[in-house]
Chain A
Amino acid sequence: MRLEKCWFCSSTVYPGHGIQFVRNDAKIFRFCRSKCHKNFKMKRNPRKVKWTKAYRRVHGKDMTQDSTFEFERKRNRPERYDRNLAETVLKAIPKIDKIRVTREERHHKNRMKGKKEKLQKEAAKELEQSISLVKAPSALQKDPSLTLPQKIKVSVSQRQSEDNNAMEE
């Protein structure tokens, strides 16, 4: 029993899931669900379909080369069973996993590094350019800070309000 990788999206296919397609040249394509299978039948290139791992690797969103990937390799020659070795392997697998995860996080962080600065610059520019939408130029002259103007209270007398009604009606 083996866990396979989906050819399209590179997620793991557990036993009892998915479809396996064997082409006439004996190449086997495994799919984790019908979404991937249908995309394959439509002849879509997984490197161009945004949500697949292949795309993410090709476009540098996810880590591609790392020594943690070298640990998991399909070996065709079986090794003679050794209990101590088995123990170490079973203990090592979670450790390798953890390291791989941390490395991927680091990669992501590196990728996002300049984002904050960029956002701040954009915000500042937008504020400066569009301040006239919320602050009249004369108010800006009086108070050159890029903040909302103070609200001015307008005193309304009785008479004026009645007149207002008449006009509005």
Chain B
Amino acid sequence: MVQYNFKKITVVPNGKDFVDIILSRTQRQTPTVVHKGYAISRLRQFYMRKVKYTQQNFHDKLSTIIDEFPRLDDIHPFYGDLLHVLYNKDHYKLALGQINTARNLIGKIAKDYVKLLKYGDSLYRCKCLKVAALGRMCTVLKRVGPSLAYLEQVRQHMARLPSIDPNTRTILICGYPNVGKSSFINKITRADVDVQPYAFTTKSLFVGHTDYKYLRYQVIDTPGILDRPFEDRNIIEMCSITALAHLRAAILFFLDISGSCGYTIAQQAALFHSIKSLFMNKPLIIVCNKTDLQPLDGISEEDMKLVMEMKSEALKTVIGQGGEATSDDSVLLTMSTLTEDGVISVKNAACERLLDQRVEVKMKSKKINDCLNRFHVAIPKPRDQKERPPCIPQAVLEAKAKEAAEKEKRKTEKDLENENGGAGVYSMNLRKHYILANDEWKEDILPEILDGHNVYDFIDPDILQRVEELEREEGIRQAEEENDEFEIDGAELTPEQQAALAEIRKKKSLLIQEHRIKKSNAESRPTVPRKFDKDKQYTSERMGRQLSSLGLDPSLAIQRMRSRSVSRRGRKRDRSPEGADGGDRMDVDGDTPGKKQRLSRSRSRSRSVSRPPHEVVPGEGLKDSAQKIKAIKLAKKSVKKRNKQARRGEADRVIPTLRPKHLFSGKRSTGKTDRR
């Protein structure tokens, strides 16, 4: 339906934006690079493409605008009139016409300039032509700017119009301002119309939907109408008049009996008579509202007379319809929206009347056959004249009656909840209705977890039996186990043998450890022959110990070792103090040993002796102590000057590069490079 497209009209940009959009699109979507040296045909083509592209875009966008805005003659007259009332038909048409002319003009401009471009002879000339073409197109659009702004306003307002379907079942509410029309619609539908004490609170049409007999009815609330000559009416009133004129709906004319709207019944009756021409062929109901303030029977004589007049008018419409002048209750109704008294009956009456009328019209129309073909009520053919009413057994009737009585007497859980403090305070006892073998068990709490097991996994009706079986089985197994408990003990090792085994294992692990150490420092260990034994590993004492631990007598071996060994130093001298040949000595007091011997033997047995600096260690590479002393002196001399001048030596820390490049350059893959 056309009315729903009002919300789907695309936004109309204003003049400047429009131009910006089109030009930027041309900029982006066409090739941009061109050089003087290209072939002339290529240059022409380049610029022609731009001009045509711009024209095409303008054409497309303007066409969408023109197409999407509804044509006032093509839509339902209700909407046509409504739009005319709101936006002025002429202005609307003019605006759209201007857009159309703009479109045509732009097309013409493009055509002309393309023709000129065909004969452009240089890059510069082609470019100027293109600039001129685009410029003219944009000027055309700028001129049309105010129309675009107007159309945008119209579009925004149109999108917010209520979506009224002019062909469906509609109920229209009209009357003076402040009589209670909006309150009524708030009561029967989910619409939320503003209700205020001042007149003209409702300024436009409002739609609500309500249901009756499984059908959906539109209820339209109109702004109040004042009793004025037609030409003097303002836009708001014109909206309601349009609605009244064009929509085939049931009309509820609201009457405020109490006069609290500020207008007397006389005035309202006058209004009624002036617009009764609009009620032709429409089911009309006069609704007297605000009966809580003033009941219908309590009004004055004259007012009563006026009301009766209106009623007779309304009756005429009923008679005009179908000739059932039976109940005048369906023509004149009273209600009060404040106390909600009679609201539903008014709605039902209106819906009923409208439905009847519509059905009648449909019946008379040509389409009735199509409708009738769609459904068929099958009635069984009566066999004889015997009456066969529905048969309900007595017990069922009684039960139904009892249930009805019970329903009123029974206390529901909700009542209980309300008694005990409401929803947040009281929570119902869900266990109350449990069906158990023994009612005492209703409040029992069974633990869910026991010793790391889920109790629910163990629940089994015959668990007792199975456990007994299991225990019996276990007992049997245990007995069997006791019978073949002993294990044949093999030959156990004696404690001495165990000690030997422990020793063996220790030695093996030591060997492995040593080997591992040797392997790890193999590169840096000096290969010195064993006879230059710096750490004094290979001593005769040690050998003796090891041999004796193996169970051999080491004394012979030690003796042999001693007799063959060559003492490197001071053997001859060492012998003399033992008192072998005292007279050979040159020294007078033969007992005093020389300085060297004293030093070397002073605390030999009890403490180790540190080496004097001149002593040559075999394996070092120096010939004798004199050589060693010289070497030491040379070394010291070479370092003296540097030390005196406090200069950096070999052992002092050196940083070869103060700022290595790999630490001070390069970006990080994530994060900042604040710190280096």
The answer to whether A166 and B567 have CB atoms under 8 Å apart is: yes
The answer to the question of A152 belonging to the interface, with a C-beta cut-off of 8 Å to chain B, is: yes
Contacting residues, chain B, for A3 (C-beta < 8 A): 449, 452-454
Which of the segments B142-150, B169-177, B483-491 contacts the partner chain?
B483-491
Q: Name the interface size band of chain B.
A: 35 or more
The answer to the question of B504 belonging to the interface, with a C-beta cut-off of 8 Å to chain A, is: yes
Pick the contact of A131 from B470, B499, B504, B552 — CB < 8 Å?
B504
Contacting residues, chain A, for B555 (C-beta < 8 A): 154-155
The answer to whether A168 and B552 have CB atoms under 8 Å apart is: no
Take A93-B451, A150-B551, A166-B570 as given contacts and tell me if A134 and B500 are in contact as well, using a CB distance cutoff of 8 Å: yes
Pick the contact of B554 from A90, A113, A149, A154 — CB < 8 Å?
A154
Chain B CB within 10 Å, residue with most, of A79, A90, A138, A154: A154
Take A71-B458, A89-B455, A168-B539 as given contacts and tell me if A126 and B565 are in contact as well, using a CB distance cutoff of 8 Å: no
The answer to whether B496 and A72 have CB atoms under 8 Å apart is: no
Task: Count chain A residues whose beta carbon lies closer than 8 angstroms to a beta carbon of B.
Answer: 71
The answer to the question of A106 belonging to the interface, with a C-beta cut-off of 8 Å to chain B, is: yes
The answer to whether A135 and B550 have CB atoms under 8 Å apart is: yes
The answer to whether B554 and A152 have CB atoms under 8 Å apart is: yes
Chain A CB within 10 Å, residue with most, of B459, B488, B505, B605: B459
Having A86-B459, A90-B455, A151-B549, one finds 12 other A-B pairs with CB under 8 Å, namely A1-B448, A3-B453, A93-B451, A96-B467, A106-B481, A117-B490, A130-B508, A136-B550, A151-B548, A152-B552, A154-B544, A169-B569
Nearest CB in chain A: distance from B546 CB, A: 10
Contacting residues, chain B, for A96 (C-beta < 8 A): 458, 467, 470
Contacting residues, chain B, for A74 (C-beta < 8 A): 457
The answer to the question of A123 belonging to the interface, with a C-beta cut-off of 8 Å to chain B, is: yes
The answer to the question of B464 belonging to the interface, with a C-beta cut-off of 8 Å to chain A, is: yes
The answer to whether B493 and A131 have CB atoms under 8 Å apart is: no
The answer to whether B459 and A75 have CB atoms under 8 Å apart is: yes
Chain B CB within 10 Å, residue with most, of A150, A161, A164, A166: A166
The answer to the question of B393 belonging to the interface, with a C-beta cut-off of 8 Å to chain A, is: no
Interface string of B590-609 (1 = CB under 8 A from A): 00000000001100110000
Pick the contact of B454 from A2, A135, A143 — CB < 8 Å?
A2
Take A81-B436, A146-B500 as given contacts and tell me if A134 and B481 are in contact as well, using a CB distance cutoff of 8 Å: no
Give 21 pairs: A residue, B residue, CB < 8 Å, sorted on A: A3-B449, A72-B453, A72-B454, A72-B458, A75-B460, A79-B459, A81-B441, A82-B441, A86-B444, A90-B455, A92-B464, A93-B451, A96-B467, A99-B474, A131-B504, A133-B507, A148-B500, A160-B562, A166-B571, A168-B536, A169-B600
The answer to whether A95 and B467 have CB atoms under 8 Å apart is: yes
Take A71-B463, A113-B487 as given contacts and tell me if A136 and B496 are in contact as well, using a CB distance cutoff of 8 Å: no
Chain B CB within 10 Å, residue with most, of A1, A94, A113, A146: A146
Contacting residues, chain B, for A127 (C-beta < 8 A): 493, 497, 500-501, 504
Distance of A63 Cα from B548 Cα, bound (Å) = 54
Distance of A68 Cα from B457 Cα, bound (Å) = 13
The answer to whether B490 and A121 have CB atoms under 8 Å apart is: yes
Contacting residues, chain A, for B453 (C-beta < 8 A): 3, 72, 93, 97
The answer to whether A80 and B436 have CB atoms under 8 Å apart is: yes
Nearest CB in chain B: distance from A37 CB, A: 21
The answer to whether B570 and A83 have CB atoms under 8 Å apart is: no
Distance of A95 Cα from B471 Cα, bound (Å) = 9
